[in-house]
């Protein structure tokens, strides 16, 4: 029966072709031809199987959600961040921790707020997170809101009426500091993936170079969240005599398997994008699809289930008409996060800096013993964690605070925040995070960290 129907429709198709001079009839005949070919396929299948063909109505195999990303999109925004920060050009070689790697010179992008006092002891370094620039707070040279806009400023958590605040773009980044997208002065071409593997120790060493350049011998405080918390902790371990107070927010003493796994998947989506081209995409196609997917994966660790349950639940975009494209509002949210971020940051920088986070272990250079490393810290410490944090679970902050105390530090403060915003709490919770930071920075602390004599600690390290 299907065969007879095909013969009739084929005759109608021929008639339509003869009438193609009338408006859109030719287009219609083409469409009929495509549909007839599909029917012929099903007819052949039914004849081959000896079964009677049944009526069928399936789904349109057109997935705009999978094909909507153009091969050529807008220019990556990281390449346009060319002003609003200061630049320190370190004209001596910089030696990396791993692989005997060396750069001939360094550029360090940084921004400052407030005034350095006469004794030069009111400086506070704010260590940036993975994808953040040096722009923590707006100012006249860059009036756009910074990534910690409400936390830094006159009367804020980090009060610029009292403190001289410094924030740098991290080594390996793409907002001014030397990284894969920078030009190698030896070759005249971008480093791309010839850039050395970076670790947190390297990042902090670069910041000490900047502080030396600025003539700052000792910090009032070292403050950081997430990757910034790793850097903040490392600074107090590397040069304990130069850090007056330490704040670590939603961070850890060493990365754990779950967070490493999430970051590995992000790197894999970028590196398997054909446009990544082993990192040499700067003169060619941008790996937009891989970068978008990486951000969507990252977003899973940045927020929390309770927040998503409250915001999205099982709300649908188009109730009653599901498809393989996003059906639920939460899917659309992830898609938006990926789309809005994918051209704001250099994919190679994401690879390098996320790898540095995976490699982080504060005890690595101290016999693999975290407590031995933490015993070097001489200053009061505040550790803040969030109960709903997936990326840096609350047990990691509890563990860090406990290890600090067991290492001999008698001035450890630990706050556990009950926020629904997960890891992003440090960006959003001005009341919980901001109040704790302000109190810790401004309170006159009687105890100055560890109680044991320095000679005992030196013996413990040996």
Sequence length of the chain is: 462
Active site residue 256: no
Active site residue 226: yes
Residue among 201, 202, 358, 389 flagged as catalytic:
389
Q: Is 299 exposed, middle or buried (0-12, 13-18, 19+ CB in 10 A)?
A: middle
C-alpha to C-alpha distance for 280 and 95, rounded to whole angstroms: 24
Residue among 131, 182, 225, 226 flagged as catalytic:
226
Question: Are 116 and 213 spatial neighbours (Cβ–Cβ below 8 Å)?
Answer: no
Active site residues: 226, 389, 423
């Amino acid at each position: 029966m299907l065969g007879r129907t095909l013969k009739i429709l084929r005759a109608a198709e021929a008639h339509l072709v003869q009438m193609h001079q009338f408006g859109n009839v030719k287009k219609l005949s083409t469409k009929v031809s495509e549909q007839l070919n599909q029917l012929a396929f099903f007819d052949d299948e039914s004849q081959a199987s000896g079964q009677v063909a049944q009526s069928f109505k399936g789904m349109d195999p057109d997935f705009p959600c999978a094909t909507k990303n153009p091969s050529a999109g807008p220019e990556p925004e990281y390449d346009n961040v060319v002003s609003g920060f200061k630049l320190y050009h370190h004209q001596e070689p910089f030696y990396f921790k791993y692989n005997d790697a060396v750069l001939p010179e360094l550029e360090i992008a940084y921004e400052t707020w407030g005034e350095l006092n006469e004794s030069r002891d009111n400086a506070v370094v704010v260590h940036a997170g993975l994808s953040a620039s040096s722009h923590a707070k707006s100012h006249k040279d860059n009036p756009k809101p910074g990534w910690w806009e409400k936390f830094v400023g006159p009367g804020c958590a980090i009060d610029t009426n009292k403190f001289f605040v410094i924030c740098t773009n991290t080594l390996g980044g793409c907002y001014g500091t030397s990284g894969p997208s920078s030009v190698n002065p030896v070759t005249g071409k971008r480093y791309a993936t010839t850039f050395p593997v970076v670790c947190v120790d390297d990042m902090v060493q670069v910041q000490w170079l900047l502080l030396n350049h600025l003539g700052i011998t000792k910090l009032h405080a070292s403050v950081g969240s997430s990757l910034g918390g790793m850097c903040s902790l490392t600074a107090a371990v590397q040069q304990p005599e130069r850090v007056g107070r330490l704040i670590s927010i939603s961070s850890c003493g060493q990365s754990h398997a779950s967070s490493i796994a999430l970051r590995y998947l992000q790197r894999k989506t970028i590196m398997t994008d054909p446009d990544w081209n082993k990192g040499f995409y700067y003169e060619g196609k941008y790996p937009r699809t891989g970068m978008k997917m990486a951000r969507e994966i990252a977003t899973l660790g940045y927020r929390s289930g309770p927040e998503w349950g409250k915001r999205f639940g099982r709300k649908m975009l188009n109730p009653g008409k599901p498809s393989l494209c996003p059906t639920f509002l939460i899917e659309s949210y992830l898609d938006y996060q990926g789309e809005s971020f994918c051209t704001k940051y250099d994919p190679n920088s994401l690879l390098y800096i996320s790898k540095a986070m995976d490699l982080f272990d504060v005890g690595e250079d101290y016999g693999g013993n975290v407590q031995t490393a933490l015993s070097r810290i001489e200053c009061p410490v505040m550790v803040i964690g969030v109960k709903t944090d997936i990326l840096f679970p609350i047990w990691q902050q509890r563990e860090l605070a406990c290890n600090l105390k067991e290492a001999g530090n008698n001035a450890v403060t630990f706050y556990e925040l009950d926020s629904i915003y997960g890891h992003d709490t440090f960006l959003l919770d001005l009341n919980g995070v901001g109040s704790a930071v302000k109190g810790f920075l401004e309170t006159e602390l009687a105890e100055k960290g560890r109680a044991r004599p320095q000679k005992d600690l030196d013996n413990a390290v040996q």
